[in-house]
């Protein structure tokens, strides 16, 4: 079994995969996952046939472009983040780090953006007619960092609004890409959320589920902190799996294959062979000795 070192890059990737597993588990425990699935399915359905046709066209385009690129790949020249000779508009990240949050085929060939994070305004006091409505330019009041003034909320804000952000384990197709943040550079407060584009949830039962998102995130953070304390001192992949057998699913397949490969013995070839040490005279004497030994039948004692 070959030894695979636990590099910083591998350690970070394993930790990232562990975080995803924990988040998915807690989202399921708190019933956040099913709630988000209902939202996505509802918005996809309400987007209509044109949206479904667009998704089908995008997937067909993805497969055709991928097939075309693979056929001409021997011609391409890769330099830094550019691939010269390629028909597509691919710009690979200027990094050797593995892709961790998007499927590589989607990243290179899928023409549409996928929704990674859902930004939500949750308020059970809003009318049910607003449930799953899109909302733009939303922000509550906040105290300015430099002028020390209280900035009023936007017109889209209502009393009782709560901001939540959910990260999908696998990015999803969605009619719009939501965008927001839970902090602001010009606010004195650490938590000062704002939305450029978001979604309203006013269904009371759903609000109950979504209010568990911070709890799920906190539990995930606590587990990841413990995991980092565990994995940081480990120097080899074998040691990690010996101590934590359940972590096998967190390790990239190629690393498991590299560890399972038989160890190749290192052959050290002498720079100088014994025959190279013989002068012409010594070679003659050596040959005469070998000939004499052969005629006498060697030393049988």
Q: If you write DSSP's letter for every residue of 87-154 in order, what string do you get?
A: SS--B--SS-SPP-SS-HHHHHH--S--EEEEEEEE-TTS-GGGTT-EEEEEE--EEBTTT--EEPPP
Considering the domain boundaries, does residue 231 fall inside one?
no
What is the count of structural domains for the chain?
1
Q: Which residue has the higher pLDDT, 267 or 248?
A: 248
Specify the pLDDT at position 143: 82
pLDDT the model gives residue 103: 47
**Is the pLDDT at 36 greater than 70, yes or no?**
yes
In a domain? residue 234: no
Output phi, psi for 144, to 5 deg. -65, 145
Burial of 288 (0-12, 13-18, 19+ CB in 10 A): exposed
Residue 69: predicted pLDDT = 86
Residue 115 lies in a domain: yes
Q: Which stretches within 232-279 are classed as H helix?
A: 237-243, 253-260
143 located within any domain: yes
Average pLDDT over the chain, rounded to whole?
A: 84
Q: What is the pLDDT of residues 183-216, one digit of tens each?
A: 777 777 777 889 999 999 999 999 999 988 888 8
pLDDT reported for residue 266: 67
Q: Would the pTM count as exceeding 0.85?
A: no
Q: Is residue 124 part of a domain?
A: yes
- Tokens 């939501």 sit on residue: 178
- Closest by CA to 164, choosing from 94, 107, 215, is 215
More confident residue, 130 or 283: 130
Residue 229 counted as domain residue: no
Q: Is 222 part of a structural domain of the chain? A: no
**For the chain, percent of residues with pLDDT exceeding 70:** 80
Domain range for 46 is 31-211
User: CB 113: neighbour CB atoms within 10 A?
Assistant: 12
């Amino acid at each position: 079994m070959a030894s695979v070192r636990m590099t910083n890059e591998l350690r970070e990737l394993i930790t990232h995969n562990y975080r995803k597993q924990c988040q998915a588990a807690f989202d399921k425990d708190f019933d956040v996952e099913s709630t988000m699935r209902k939202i996505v399915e509802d918005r996809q359905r309400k987007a209509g046939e044109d949206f479904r046709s667009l998704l089908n066209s995008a997937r067909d385009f993805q497969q055709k472009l991928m097939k075309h690129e693979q056929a001409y790949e021997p011609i391409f020249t890769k330099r830094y983040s550019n691939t010269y000779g390629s028909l597509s508009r691919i710009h690979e990240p200027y990094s050797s780090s593995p892709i961790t949050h998007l499927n590589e085929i989607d990243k290179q060939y899928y023409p549409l953006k996928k929704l990674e994070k859902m930004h939500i305004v949750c308020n059970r006091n809003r009318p049910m007619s607003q449930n799953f409505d899109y909302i733009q330019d939303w922000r509550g009041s906040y105290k300015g960092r430099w002028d020390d003034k209280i900035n009023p909320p936007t017109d889209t804000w209502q009393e009782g609004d709560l901001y939540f952000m959910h990260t999908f384990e696998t990015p999803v197709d969605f009619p719009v890409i939501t965008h927001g943040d839970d902090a602001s550079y010009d606010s004195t407060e650490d938590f000062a959320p704002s939305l450029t584009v978001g979604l309203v949830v006013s269904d009371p039962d759903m609000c109950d589920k979504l209010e568990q998102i911070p709890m799920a995130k906190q539990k995930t953070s606590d587990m990841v902190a413990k995991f980092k304390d565990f994995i940081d001192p480990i120097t080899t992949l074998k040691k990690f799996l010996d101590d934590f057998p359940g972590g096998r699913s967190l390790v990239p397949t190629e690393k498991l294959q590299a560890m399972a490969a038989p160890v190749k013995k290192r052959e050290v070839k002498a720079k100088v062979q014994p025959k190279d040490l013989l002068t012409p005279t010594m070679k003659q004497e050596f040959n005469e000795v070998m000939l004499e030994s052969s005629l006498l039948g060697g030393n049988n004692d």
